[in-house]
Amino acid sequence: MNQADQEWLKNRVAVAVDDDFYLDRDEERRIKEEGASRSIVSREIELIIREQLDEYSAVSERALVEELDRLLHQFTDNDKKLDQKEERLALNKVVTPAPGKKVGLDPRVAEEYVASFCKANGASRSTDTKKWLSSQMGLVLVAVAVAGAGIFFATRPSAAKEESAAIPVQAKEVRPADTKAVRLNENDRAEIDDQLRRAALYVEKAQYTDPPESSAKASLDQIRQIDPDGQYRGEEVKGLASKIVDHYIKLAEKSAASNDLGAAAKWLARAKLLNRDREVILEKERALGLVKAER
């Protein structure tokens, strides 16, 4: 990474966290995409983000959600139950600011994730944490107000944030397989659940197709190998792939608008790796003048 790109990336992260010490998942994803469009490798982007977060005593929402996910799996994988003590421990771990940090995970995000996790993984909850989370939310607002005193809020970009690319993971019934279809067992379905969860997390990290071994594409490919006919959660797999394709198309449009057709072609080439919506991608290539229209 050259010096100019390094300074740009540091400033980009600083502007994102200077008023609330909180880098949400959408903003982190955009930063990574913008960095990738400048040909900055993902590991260097990750390193700069971590360094800037430490410098500003700020937190990454994505990292905290990943920690919450890990704790929930730890508590529920065996008995499929999340009792009051376990839920409070998990939430307290991520919502309470860690040493050296000014804030923790947004309590609303935490509550939504716990509810979604339990629904997707068939885990029962034995407590309602809304009252506790409400009190935590009040503490968070006070902490941000105190820590942010004197900061010039106008430096925060005013552009509306994009729709979150986090994909809700909801279990669906297995469709009856025909006589030629691969018969899925419980282990196959459990592996598909896990790979789909990983794919959604990779999307949050903006790891759509790169690195090849740790990306949403890698997880989706693994699912297709297990279930080539899409008998189990097939529509969710297709939907996630299509969302990634749509995202690459938007990046291609932005690059083309900046007269960078080389970058536009690169984004569409990555979109093709998902093996979805080929006609849509081809139509976009024609619209951007990357291929000749058929006569």
pLDDT tens, position by position, 238-271: 999 999 999 899 888 988 888 888 888 888 988 9
Helix residue ranges per DSSP H, 77-169: 84-95, 107-121, 130-147
Check if the beta carbon of residue 11 is closer than 8 Å to that of residue 21.
Answer: no
**In which band, very low, low, confident or very high, does the pLDDT at 159 lie, cut at 50, 70 and 90?**
very low
> What local confidence, expressed as pLDDT, does residue 205 receive?
78
Could you tell me the two tokens for 218?
């890698």
**Could you give the CA distance from residue 14 to residue 53 in angstroms, rounded to a whole number?**
8
Residue 52, pLDDT score:
94
Tell me, what's the pLDDT at 280?
93
- Res. 171 pLDDT band, cuts 50 70 90: very low
Confidence of residue 96 (pLDDT cuts 50, 70, 90): very high
Please give the structure tokens belonging to residue 27: 């903003």
Residue 161, CA distances (Å) to 3, 19, 30, 103, 222 in order: 28, 16, 9, 21, 31
Q: From the CB of residue 160, how many other CB atoms can be counted at a distance below 10 Å?
A: 6
Q: For residue 225, is pLDDT > 50?
A: yes
Is 274:241 a contact under the CB 8 Å cutoff? yes
Rounded to an integer, the average pLDDT of 107-127 is: 86
Per-residue pLDDT tens over the stretch 2-49? 888 999 999 989 988 888 899 998 889 889 888 888 888 888 999 999
CA quadruple 25, 31, 47, 96: dihedral positive or negative?
A: negative
| Domain range summary for the chain, segments of one domain joined by + | 3-56, 61-147, 187-287
Q: 89 pLDDT exceeds 80?
A: yes
Give 162 or 133, the one with higher predicted confidence: 133
Question: In the structure, what pLDDT confidence band is assigned to residue 232 with cuts at 50, 70 and 90?
Answer: very high
Q: Are 68 and 118 in contact (CB under 8 A)?
A: no
Q: Mention every residue, 6+ apart, whose C-beta is less than 8 A from residue 287.
A: none
Whole-Å CA distances, 50 to 18, 136, 148: 14, 25, 20
pLDDT per residue as tens digits for the range 178-222: 445 678 898 889 899 999 998 988 888 778 887 777 888 889 999
